[in-house]
Structure 1
């Protein structure tokens, strides 16, 4: 009787813990898995390919997971669309997100960031040979595509082109398709993302090559996860010191002629952009 009562009490306690804490039953801490949010549709960064996941963000995530004590087999990859990232962290759907996630003051109100681990620059993608758009100042009266939930389109509208016609899509692949077909005149987001799209287009698209912002990519974690932030920052520092960061970037941008701005890269974790 006592054993039965004890088992029931233990089960009830576990169920309660699951309901209120990420550290409870069924979380990565109890099932030996770590859940990481990435993009599935960004060539060169986070891309799902034949059941595997490749890209610079994926390599950084694997390195961090290893430093946290997880093997690649213990990683559960979760798709993290731009507009869903904050909710995924707040709900405990993932342990951290590494998905071209720019650190902003607005986002820091609801989630925390480790990093930055990379500094990109916002740029424009156009059809090969199109000289009508050579920078954001040329976008007035033009049709521009970006992804719902990203900061890129807002930046263009606020700082450069009030009269731009904005089309928002759920992913960058959809924006690239709209550009191919002539529905829009340009796509805007960070240069490293655009480089991957240009590479995947087999020469039909090109990056303008005049970045006009600095985007500090952070690793998103649930608000208040101070210990996890410290461990992730330590992992990023190690990755930069041992050459793994440089190798991962070179491997994932091969053939794109993309070179990150050496003034900002590699960045200092918990440095500028994450104060």
Structure 2
């Protein structure tokens, strides 16, 4: 009987210890300090696009994602954590980037994400690192010259799920029909097959698509401002402050402009001063 009591006592003690350890190791994601964790690991995990030419595109030859945002994230990582720090990249899309941030799969989003009042309810943003504007991509010779033409002709405009571009078009061209695709590659395929008369998103993204598809042009100017910011989860102000400080330093030492020219120097009509606005 004594042996049984001792065994039961030991079992209870082990159970209590297990519960305590589990509780200590399961802090909610909202209580994490991402910046302190990254300082210890000397690593920042970035969510980046892999389907967006000039910003983040998967190179099938070596399996690496390349683009302006990838290079800028690398530069920011080293500016924030030291020259031996490592930037880790995880592919996101317009529809997956927010859930992956909230789930703790990534530390920050740098994926052509516009800083909007609606999104600021869910995440915090860094200062602007690329000032884009929404425009249209059409086939050369198209009768669609601007967003008003879409409204008049009741045409179909193509967009991407998770982007605010389609909502913006609906405000200025309520007569236009909308077709949303999973990613920009599918949207471009839909445009080529005639499923829509125009594809809409930020002009920076569209410039990359026009470079890849010479038969298509960016038209109509910009009808909505789209300032890109680095998004982090709420209550991560330490990370935001460190990011803004590093971004300011990269602008001051010329590295920001070097990367901007590296990726956009051959884009016809690209406005460096507009893109670099803070």
TM-score, L = length of structure 2 = 0.84
In the alignment, does 2:223 pair up with 1:215?
no
Q: Distance in 1 between matches of 2:52 and 2:228?
A: 15
More helix by share: 2
Distance change (3 Å), C-alpha of 1:15 and 1:34: farther
How many residues align structurally?
A: 257
Q: For the pair shown, which has the larger CA radius of gyration, 1 or 2?
A: 2
Distance change (3 Å), C-alpha of 1:14 and 1:163: same
Residue range with higher mean Cα deviation, 104-113 or 73-82? 73-82
Q: Distance in 2 between matches of 1:14 and 1:23?
A: 19
TM-score, L = length of structure 1 = 0.85
Distance change (3 Å), C-alpha of 1:238 and 1:14: farther
Distance change (3 Å), C-alpha of 1:238 and 1:207: same
Q: Distance in 2 between matches of 1:69 and 1:209?
A: 42
Residues 85-138 of structure 1: per-residue CA shift (max 9 Å, x gap):
2222222111111001100111111110011111101110001222x1110001
Q: Distance in 1 between matches of 2:38 and 2:171?
A: 41
- Long gaps (5+) in structure 1: 269-275
2:77 to 57, 62, 65: 65
In the alignment, does 2:56 pair up with 1:46?
yes
Q: Counterpart of 1:101 in 2: which secondary structure?
A: coil
What's the counterpart of residue 258 of structure 2? 247
Q: Distance in 2 between matches of 1:147 and 1:72?
A: 37
Distance change (3 Å), C-alpha of 1:117 and 1:125: same
What's the counterpart of residue 156 of structure 2? 143
Q: Counterpart of 2:116 in 1: which secondary structure?
A: coil
Q: Distance in 2 between matches of 1:18 and 1:48?
A: 34
What's the counterpart of residue 128 of structure 1? 140
Q: CA deviation at 1:10?
A: 10
What's the counterpart of residue 113 of structure 1? 125
Q: Counterpart of 1:234 in 2: which secondary structure?
A: helix
2:115 to 76, 95, 103: 103
What's the counterpart of residue 162 of structure 1? 174
Q: What RMSD over aligned residues (CA atoms) do the two structures have, in Å?
A: 2.6
Q: Counterpart of 1:99 in 2: which secondary structure?
A: coil
